[in-house]
Amino acid sequence: MKKFIPAALFFISASVFSQTKGKVISIKDGDTVVVLLAGNTHQTLRLAEVDCPENSQAFGNNAKSFTGSQVFGKTVTFYSVGKDRYGRSVAGVFYDNGKYLSREIVRAGFGWWYFKASKNTELQKLQDEAREKRLGLWADRQPVSPWDFRKGKNKKKTPTVKSKNKSSESAQ
Protein backbone atom coordinates (compact mmCIF):
# COMPACT_ATOMS: atom_id res chain seq x y z
CA MET A 1 0.00 0.00 0.00
CA LYS A 2 1.42 3.38 -1.02
CA LYS A 3 1.74 6.05 1.63
CA PHE A 4 0.66 9.59 0.69
CA ILE A 5 1.72 12.99 1.96
CA PRO A 6 -1.29 14.92 3.23
CA ALA A 7 -2.98 16.95 0.51
CA ALA A 8 -1.46 20.11 1.91
CA LEU A 9 1.91 19.24 0.39
CA PHE A 10 1.83 19.22 -3.38
CA PHE A 11 -0.63 16.34 -3.75
CA ILE A 12 2.16 13.89 -4.64
CA SER A 13 3.02 10.54 -3.09
CA ALA A 14 5.59 10.35 -0.31
CA SER A 15 7.65 7.90 -2.29
CA VAL A 16 8.91 10.87 -4.36
CA PHE A 17 10.40 12.55 -1.27
CA SER A 18 12.53 11.22 1.53
CA GLN A 19 10.77 11.17 4.89
CA THR A 20 12.94 12.06 7.86
CA LYS A 21 12.33 12.60 11.56
CA GLY A 22 14.14 15.08 13.73
CA LYS A 23 13.77 17.11 16.90
CA VAL A 24 13.35 20.86 16.43
CA ILE A 25 16.21 22.47 18.37
CA SER A 26 16.14 26.03 17.03
CA ILE A 27 13.77 28.48 15.38
CA LYS A 28 15.70 30.88 13.14
CA ASP A 29 12.63 32.77 11.97
CA GLY A 30 8.99 32.08 11.18
CA ASP A 31 9.76 29.87 8.20
CA THR A 32 13.15 28.38 9.10
CA VAL A 33 13.84 25.75 11.76
CA VAL A 34 16.81 23.58 12.71
CA VAL A 35 16.28 19.90 13.47
CA LEU A 36 18.55 17.46 15.26
CA LEU A 37 18.85 14.21 13.34
CA ALA A 38 20.11 10.77 14.28
CA GLY A 39 23.85 10.75 14.84
CA ASN A 40 23.74 14.22 16.44
CA THR A 41 23.79 16.01 13.09
CA HIS A 42 21.54 18.94 12.45
CA GLN A 43 19.78 20.28 9.38
CA THR A 44 18.29 23.68 8.62
CA LEU A 45 14.86 23.49 7.02
CA ARG A 46 13.19 26.27 5.04
CA LEU A 47 9.46 25.62 5.23
CA ALA A 48 7.79 24.85 1.92
CA GLU A 49 4.87 26.91 0.57
CA VAL A 50 5.05 29.74 3.11
CA ASP A 51 7.02 32.97 3.50
CA CYS A 52 7.02 34.69 6.88
CA PRO A 53 8.01 38.24 7.74
CA GLU A 54 11.73 38.74 8.29
CA ASN A 55 12.88 39.02 11.92
CA SER A 56 13.56 42.75 11.39
CA GLN A 57 10.15 43.27 9.77
CA ALA A 58 6.82 44.02 11.45
CA PHE A 59 5.38 40.74 12.80
CA GLY A 60 8.69 38.92 12.21
CA ASN A 61 9.13 38.16 15.90
CA ASN A 62 5.47 37.15 16.16
CA ALA A 63 5.90 34.66 13.30
CA LYS A 64 9.04 33.25 14.91
CA SER A 65 7.24 32.91 18.26
CA PHE A 66 4.26 31.21 16.63
CA THR A 67 6.47 28.68 14.85
CA GLY A 68 8.33 28.03 18.10
CA SER A 69 5.09 27.51 20.00
CA GLN A 70 4.06 24.89 17.46
CA VAL A 71 7.22 22.80 17.05
CA PHE A 72 10.12 23.78 19.31
CA GLY A 73 11.38 20.73 21.21
CA LYS A 74 9.08 18.38 19.31
CA THR A 75 9.97 15.51 17.05
CA VAL A 76 8.68 16.30 13.57
CA THR A 77 8.48 14.43 10.29
CA PHE A 78 9.65 16.31 7.25
CA TYR A 79 9.79 15.74 3.53
CA SER A 80 12.59 17.52 1.69
CA VAL A 81 11.39 18.80 -1.67
CA GLY A 82 14.53 20.59 -2.79
CA LYS A 83 17.14 23.16 -1.83
CA ASP A 84 16.89 26.93 -1.73
CA ARG A 85 19.52 29.34 -3.03
CA TYR A 86 21.27 29.25 0.36
CA GLY A 87 21.60 25.46 0.32
CA ARG A 88 18.92 24.87 2.95
CA SER A 89 16.50 21.99 2.51
CA VAL A 90 13.03 23.17 1.56
CA ALA A 91 10.67 20.88 3.42
CA GLY A 92 7.11 20.17 4.39
CA VAL A 93 7.13 19.77 8.17
CA PHE A 94 4.48 17.73 10.02
CA TYR A 95 3.89 17.49 13.77
CA ASP A 96 1.26 16.54 16.37
CA ASN A 97 -0.28 13.67 14.41
CA GLY A 98 -0.23 15.19 10.94
CA LYS A 99 -0.51 18.97 11.36
CA TYR A 100 1.23 20.68 8.44
CA LEU A 101 3.30 23.56 9.86
CA SER A 102 3.09 25.82 6.79
CA ARG A 103 -0.69 25.46 6.80
CA GLU A 104 -0.92 26.36 10.50
CA ILE A 105 1.27 29.45 10.00
CA VAL A 106 -0.88 30.73 7.14
CA ARG A 107 -4.10 29.91 8.99
CA ALA A 108 -2.95 31.88 12.06
CA GLY A 109 -1.97 34.87 9.91
CA PHE A 110 1.79 34.73 10.49
CA GLY A 111 2.88 34.06 6.93
CA TRP A 112 1.97 34.42 3.30
CA TRP A 113 1.13 31.56 1.01
CA TYR A 114 4.23 31.46 -1.19
CA PHE A 115 2.31 31.22 -4.46
CA LYS A 116 5.49 31.58 -6.53
CA ALA A 117 6.55 28.08 -5.46
CA SER A 118 3.24 26.44 -4.55
CA LYS A 119 0.11 25.36 -6.34
CA ASN A 120 -1.65 24.58 -3.06
CA THR A 121 -4.71 26.82 -3.33
CA GLU A 122 -5.97 25.63 0.07
CA LEU A 123 -3.27 27.89 1.51
CA GLN A 124 -4.61 30.83 -0.49
CA LYS A 125 -8.08 30.22 0.99
CA LEU A 126 -6.63 30.06 4.52
CA GLN A 127 -4.68 33.26 3.87
CA ASP A 128 -7.84 34.99 2.63
CA GLU A 129 -9.72 33.87 5.76
CA ALA A 130 -6.92 35.10 8.06
CA ARG A 131 -6.90 38.44 6.21
CA GLU A 132 -10.68 38.75 6.55
CA LYS A 133 -10.45 38.05 10.29
CA ARG A 134 -7.42 40.40 10.58
CA LEU A 135 -5.38 37.66 12.28
CA GLY A 136 -1.67 38.05 12.95
CA LEU A 137 0.08 40.25 10.40
CA TRP A 138 -3.26 40.97 8.74
CA ALA A 139 -4.07 43.28 11.68
CA ASP A 140 -1.66 45.71 9.98
CA ARG A 141 -3.47 48.10 7.63
CA GLN A 142 -0.82 47.65 4.93
CA PRO A 143 1.21 44.50 5.55
CA VAL A 144 4.34 44.21 3.45
CA SER A 145 5.14 40.82 2.00
CA PRO A 146 8.59 39.46 2.90
CA TRP A 147 9.66 39.41 -0.76
CA ASP A 148 8.77 43.11 -1.13
CA PHE A 149 10.46 43.89 2.18
CA ARG A 150 13.65 42.13 1.07
CA LYS A 151 13.52 43.88 -2.30
CA GLY A 152 13.25 47.28 -0.63
CA LYS A 153 15.91 46.47 1.94
CA ASN A 154 18.34 45.23 -0.71
CA LYS A 155 17.94 48.21 -3.04
CA LYS A 156 21.18 50.08 -3.26
CA LYS A 157 20.63 53.64 -2.29
CA THR A 158 22.31 56.05 -4.66
CA PRO A 159 23.33 59.38 -3.24
CA THR A 160 21.19 62.27 -4.40
CA VAL A 161 23.21 64.81 -6.30
CA LYS A 162 21.74 68.27 -6.42
CA SER A 163 21.74 69.60 -9.91
CA LYS A 164 23.02 73.07 -10.51
CA ASN A 165 20.52 75.72 -11.34
CA LYS A 166 20.80 76.39 -15.09
CA SER A 167 20.45 80.11 -14.61
CA SER A 168 23.42 80.17 -12.23
CA GLU A 169 25.45 78.10 -14.73
CA SER A 170 24.84 80.60 -17.53
CA ALA A 171 25.71 83.50 -15.25
CA GLN A 172 29.23 82.13 -14.76
Q: Which residues are catalytic?
A: 46, 54, 88
How far apart CA 5 and CA 26 sit, in angstroms, is: 25
Q: What is the SS3 assignment for 20-58?
A: EEEEEEEEEECCEEEEECHHHCEEEEEECCEECCCCCCC
> Which alpha helices (DSSP H) does 72-139 contain, by range?
101-108, 121-133
In 48-103 the beta strands, taken as DSSP E runs, fall at: 50-51, 75-83, 89-95, 99-100
Determine the residue type at 141.
Answer: R
Do residues 136 and 83 lie in contact, with contact meaning Cβ atoms separated by under 8 Å? Answer: no
